Amino acid sequence: MVGDLVWPGSFFFLDTPTGGTAEGLALALNDIVAWIAPDTRVVPGHGDVMSYEERLAYRDFVLAATDAATPSPTDRVSLREAQEVGLPQEFGRWESRLVPVAEWIRMVRGGAPWG
């Protein structure tokens, strides 16, 4: 049981006001992949039980979505501008009512909640 560290099929809610980060989530997902035997099924806090392949796919998605939302050191785009541009189309299916693309970008970039 991994609880709310894994939200299959949607962006994960990062608790940024208490120090949560996309990098911390990626580390936790790497631990889940490394520590849990491949033949063990994982029970997320929400959604269906996950196979090893599904855990890998979810971890890879989180890493890719984090990279897509993370500004480069030379990026001069404001948070609001980044939210208006959004993410590449392949991430659209991961948007949810709780965590829309604009909120994922805000959380990854460390902006103020729902700002």
The whole-number pLDDT of residue 46 equals 80
Other beta carbons less than 10 A from residue 9's beta carbon: 13
Query: What is the spatial distance between Cα 64 and Cα 62, in angstroms, rounded to a whole number?
Result: 6
The whole-number pLDDT of residue 115 equals 41
* 77-94 pLDDT tens trace: 888 899 999 999 999 888
The secondary structure of the chain as a DSSP string is --BTT--TTSPPPP-GGGT--HHHHHHHHHHHHHHS-TTS-B-BSSS--B-HHHHHHHHHHHHHHHHHHSPPTT----HHHHHHH---GGGGGG--SSS-HHHHHHHHHTPPTT-
The whole-number pLDDT of residue 114 equals 43
* 21-74 pLDDT tens trace: 888 888 888 888 888 888 988 888 888 898 888 888 888 988 999 999 988 778
Residue 111 or 52, more confident: 52
Given a cut of 90, whether residue 101 has pLDDT beyond it is yes
Query: What is the spatial distance between Cα 17 and Cα 56, in angstroms, rounded to a whole number?
Result: 28
Query: What is the distance in angstroms between the CA of the first residue and the CA of the last residue of the chain?
Result: 32
The whole-number pLDDT of residue 105 equals 92
Query: What is the spatial distance between Cα 111 and Cα 64, in angstroms, rounded to a whole number?
Result: 19
Would you list the domain boundaries of the chain? 16-109
The whole-number pLDDT of residue 98 equals 83
